Amino acid sequence: MSTRTEERSVLRPQDACAAHRRIRSRATGARELSYAQAIQEALAIAMEADERVFLMGEDIGVYGGAFQVTGDLVQRFGPERVMDTPISELGAAGVAIGAALTGLRPIFEFQFSDFSALAMEQIVNQAAKLRFMLGGAVSVPLVMRFPSGSGTGAAAQHSQSLEAWFAHVPGLKVVQPSTPYDAKGCLLAAIADPDPVMIFEHKLLYKMKGDVPRGHYTVPLGEARLCRPGRDVTIVATSIMVHRSLAAAKELAGEGIEAEVIDLRSLRPLDRDALTSSVKRTHRLVCVYEGVKTLGIGAEISASIAESDAFDYLDAPILRLGGAECPIPYNPELEKAAVPQTPSIVAAVRDLVHGRR
């Protein structure tokens, strides 16, 4: 892990005590916002600063979005800049790409990440490729937001984690912010980016609260974050799994196992330097993610370590904890069992450290 990344983690430790958070809030002008409020604030800041920025998506206007993220933005900016689209992801994605090609800055909210399957042609064959196919003569400054993940009882067609699909495609940037701070900063960075950026927002995080500075700031795309230092094992996690991994690390510390937790934040570009540096310190690696285990982001992380000089530092096999090989069930107990939870992370890390894996 670079010194710069370590300094960022010192400034924003997720396990800081309440007193520290209050002191830091006063020093930085931050205040506590929910994940959804942080996104809405970023949208408002961008729209106020640049008239080219506009929002589009199903029910994002008067209704305020399926998860109430856009809120009252239609009252503040009007229906021409907060546009309700028809129930046609393919058509709306085409409109968004066309608008981006003309110099506008569209932000397209998919009602559920699962519905991206309906727009694969536009996302994968158009948005991702047009800059390459036209020799850099055009860019597609498009942001796509995807409510993602399980835990809401929405069943198989509304609960998937599909980010690895898109991280496979050159030309797309794929981001998974895990905190309100990162949700705002990554979104503002994405809006300023000249290429298409896909932001996967876990639905269970929308109500999570955390310190968020006032005004404009960005979180660089492609930089992982050190959440918790450790010496015995590296846990690389994404999205909500960051919080479950931190909870697991806290429990493991009571057993004398010090786990280092890395929030990947960005799948493409991938911060390979942060991963290799951490593994060289801890000599063990566990990848935790909600998407189906097979061909998920954990496979790429594992391969990156196996192909790097960090491989010689490993004292145990690399372990992947991903989603089960099945659609997400509706039954709440089965839904929990289909993706990693804190107890399963604790058990897996404990076995790895003690040589039982």
Cβ proximity of 244 and 288 under 8 Å: yes
Task: Indicate the helix (H) or strand (E) that contains 193.
Answer: none
Choosing from 158, 163, 202, 335, which is the catalytic residue? 158
3-state secondary structure of 352: helix
CA atoms of 314 and 84, how far apart (whole Å): 51
Choosing from 89, 109, 201, 335, which is the catalytic residue? 89
Q: Which two tokens stand for residue 263?
A: 């929030």
CA atoms of 252 and 249, how far apart (whole Å): 5
Is 89 labeled as catalytic in the residue annotation?
yes
Cβ proximity of 112 and 147 under 8 Å: yes
Q: Which two tokens stand for residue 293?
A: 């285990």
Backbone φ, ψ for residue 92 (5° rounding): -65, -40
Strand partners, 209: 34
Q: In 102-176, which residue ranges form alpha helices assigned H by DSSP?
A: 120, 130-133, 163-167
CA atoms of 189 and 269, how far apart (whole Å): 13
Is 202 labeled as catalytic in the residue annotation?
no
3-state secondary structure of 48: helix
Q: Which two tokens stand for residue 56?
A: 């589009």
Q: Which two tokens stand for residue 118?
A: 């309906």
- Cα angle, residue 180 at apex, residues 175 and 185 outer, rounded to 5°: 55
User: What DSSP letter does each residue of 91-155 carry, written as one string?
Assistant: HHHHHHHHHHHTT-EEEEE-SSGGGGGGGHIIIIIIITTHHHHTTTS-----EEEEEE-SSSS--
Task: Indicate the helix (H) or strand (E) that contains 288.
Answer: strand 285-292
Q: Which two tokens stand for residue 92?
A: 């709306």
Active centre residues (catalytic) = 89, 158
